[in-house]
Chain A
Amino acid sequence: MKITYPHMGNLYIAVRALLVKLGLDPVLPPPTSRKTALLGVRHAPEFACFPLKLNLGNFLEAREMGADTVLMAGGIGPCRFGYYAEVEREILADLGVPMEMVVLEPPSGDWVTFKARARSLVGDCSWWQVLKAIRFAWYKARAVDALESKLLYLRPRLCEPLQLEAIYREALRRVDAAENRRGLDLAVGDFLKDIRGLPRKSGDLLRVGLVGEIFTVLEPYANYDIERHLGLLGVEVTRSIFLSEWINEHLFGGLLRVGGLDHLEETASPYLNAFVGGHGRETVGATVHFAGQGYDGVVQVAPFTCMPEIVAHSVLPAVTRDHGIPTLSFYLDEQSGVAGIVTRLEAFVDLLEARRKKRLKEGV
């Protein structure tokens, strides 16, 4: 069995660690690119959301590399993601691409089916080995998160951000290659050591919260590298959600009490008082949270036609009115262009800067 799985930012590192520890032979598709998008767009439904199209492109590229099985996550809505695998399976079948779909549905009380499905995947591994593999993958996800949050924090602060990015990429490669906890700790430790002496700029930074649909937040191809563009404009970006939180919530059913997004449900009220699928409620909650933390603005990203984020976006004007935090929303798909996105970001940052200056003046 040559198993592949879709890209979502640096998720591949954790999943690869898991599959290798389970004795499987993962085939990783090349990083999502223009070619991936074109492949996906050609065969996916026109109005499906962008992640589905990119997933499909990933699968077809992995197929060229010899993959015969696809590992996907499921879910029971109302966000479309839960039905992705079903539609993707039909598309692959009509294309005559013989790939089997293994879908990890969250165990909704039916442990017998869940166990059987997991067993078909893990083969002869003992449950103890499975547990160890999951734990190791989890540590990798946490290591990736540690690197990413450092990158987001430092990029706007350094004189040579490109140098930082090079160090980050090397650290990421080492995290991916690490075969045990010690290797992981070393990779993260060396990264922290390497970045310590880098020369810094002085002055106050603008701080922007990044909220929105999880795939678009985590996958740089889907968000057209929005974190990087903001960072290079001298803005510190804070994400509302990280990879390990998604893994915990989506794949472990929220078993681990780490980080957690529960408090965002509370701050979303009274603007959005119900679960609306995906991370719609968290988007609103995080916007209120960022406003409370004194952030200068919030950027929302979502795939074009994303239902939960549209609901969230609909109520954001009320948050802006009450909390005085400017927001900028991007709906992204294969039609988006990077120049347009950067122009809008620059205008937004200019506005935030002017706003901050005005406030300082009034304060004095």
Chain B
Amino acid sequence: MVKVGIPRGLLYYSYFPLWRAFFTEMGAEVVVSPETNKAVLDAGLRSALDETCLPVKLFFGHVLALIGSVDYLLVPRLISVEPKAYICPKFMGLPDMLRARIPNLPPLIDVDVDFSRGTGNWENVLSSMGRLLAGDRRLIRQACRSAQAAQSLFQEQLEKGWLLPEALNGAAGERGTERPAPPPPGSGRLNIALLGHAYNIYDEYISMNLIERLRSMGAQVSTADLVPQSVIDEQAGTLPKKLFWTLGKKMIGAAFAFCDIRQFDGMIYLSSFGCGPESLVGELLARWAKRRRDIPFMPLTIDEHTGAAGLVTRLEAFTDMLLRREKG
């Protein structure tokens, strides 16, 4: 059985159900790298360029963890997943960076994902990937269908309020299951909107278990994945100029949408040191929150040196402040 390795990093968090279903249906065995740990991160730090951001370094680590145990590595060149917007230059050069810096790399499945001109779709991308595995056409078509069904179920679960890891590990259950409703405002429990790239906030190691920590402080955590794409497009469309980073647009759109719903006590923006788009998107959000005056906003920056104690102190101070604000 052909083994296809999927590194647990970057857009794994957005497209894993799609990719897993496709390759499984194609008759391949999908191997995911282990959850991030010190060894994975250290290997990434040694092999990636110092100047790259934490999630890219970590991705190198996950790729290294798969070498030797897979026949192919899935590293699509993610240029753009919607018209006139990109992901990030580092995603666009990812397969090239890996090839230049990691010896003995297994063959990469590095099909271009570029929907920036309004043409192209996942079906075409998956078909190209399928052809690399030399599958026959009917099988590819069928695998495409299962993949897209799996991905839309995943989206549905996210929009119903399940957190991404819950949707990935099956805790969200079958289609139609509603997540228990968040506590009402004023109940002494906080509703916190956590913004940040999925590959940062859901990686328990590099986010230092941020979501669990917030929960243990009595907070209900919601993320941008909850907000449907149409709402994000609409809200981010109020900016004077269209944002050309898909992930940045998601953060801005979700933040605006959360404030419209008005049931959030505070907002945390987690970004990684050296992230280009976030340096501007985070700035716009911080300025916007400051002008509104009604939504407490805390930016957090992580890198490979961050210590948990500093993070915990800031979280405690933030939640204490929110609770006091709610009482007053």
Q: A278: which B residues are within 8 A, CB to CB?
A: 89
Q: Which residue of B lies closest to A312 (CB)?
A: B93
The CB with the most chain A CB atoms within 10 A, among B52, B112, B273, B280, is that of: B280
Shortest beta-carbon distance from A215 to chain B in Å:
15
Decide if B244 touches A77 in the complex (CB within 8 Å).
yes
Decide if A76 touches B84 in the complex (CB within 8 Å).
yes
In B3-24, the 8 Å CB interface with A consists of none
User: Could you say which of A79-87, A199-207, A285-293, A347-355 contacts chain B?
Assistant: A79-87
Decide if A314 touches B100 in the complex (CB within 8 Å).
yes
A39-54: CB near B (< 8 Å → 1, else 0) gives 0000001111100000
Q: How many residues of B contact A (CB 8 A)?
A: 42
A301-316: CB near B (< 8 Å → 1, else 0) gives 0001111101111111
Q: A49-B276, A307-B89 are in contact. Are A82 and B244 (CB under 8 A)?
A: yes
Decide if A48 touches B280 in the complex (CB within 8 Å).
yes
Q: B51: which A residues are within 8 A, CB to CB?
A: 304-305, 310, 313, 331
In the assembly, what is the distance between CA of A87 and CA of B279, in Å?
Answer: 10
Decide if A271 touches B89 in the complex (CB within 8 Å).
no
Decide if B97 touches A311 in the complex (CB within 8 Å).
yes
Decide if B274 touches A47 in the complex (CB within 8 Å).
yes
Q: A314-B97, A314-B101 are in contact. Are A87 and B280 (CB under 8 A)?
A: yes
Decide if B92 touches A318 in the complex (CB within 8 Å).
no
Interface contacts (Cβ under 8 Å), in number, total 128
Q: Indicate if A272 sits at the interface (CB-CB under 8 A).
A: yes
Q: A276-B92, A311-B97 are in contact. Are A76 and B244 (CB under 8 A)?
A: yes
Q: How many residues of A contact B (CB 8 A)?
A: 45
In the assembly, what is the distance between CA of A271 and CA of B98, in Å?
Answer: 10
Q: Indicate if B99 sits at the interface (CB-CB under 8 A).
A: yes
Decide if B92 touches A78 in the complex (CB within 8 Å).
yes
Q: Which residue of B lies closest to A87 (CB)?
A: B280
In the assembly, what is the distance between CA of A77 and CA of B275, in Å?
Answer: 15
Decide if A86 touches B100 in the complex (CB within 8 Å).
no
Q: A76: which B residues are within 8 A, CB to CB?
A: 84, 244
Q: A47-B275, A314-B100 are in contact. Are A78 and B245 (CB under 8 A)?
A: yes
Decide if A78 touches B112 in the complex (CB within 8 Å).
no
Q: A77-B86, A276-B93, A315-B96 are in contact. Are A45 and B283 (CB under 8 A)?
A: yes
Q: Which 10 A-B pairs have the closest CB atoms?
A: A311-B93, A77-B244, A78-B86, A47-B279, A318-B100, A45-B283, A307-B89, A315-B100, A314-B97, A307-B276
Q: A94-B290, A94-B291 are in contact. List 6 more A-B contacts (CB 8 A).
A: A47-B275, A47-B278, A74-B241, A80-B276, A306-B276, A311-B92
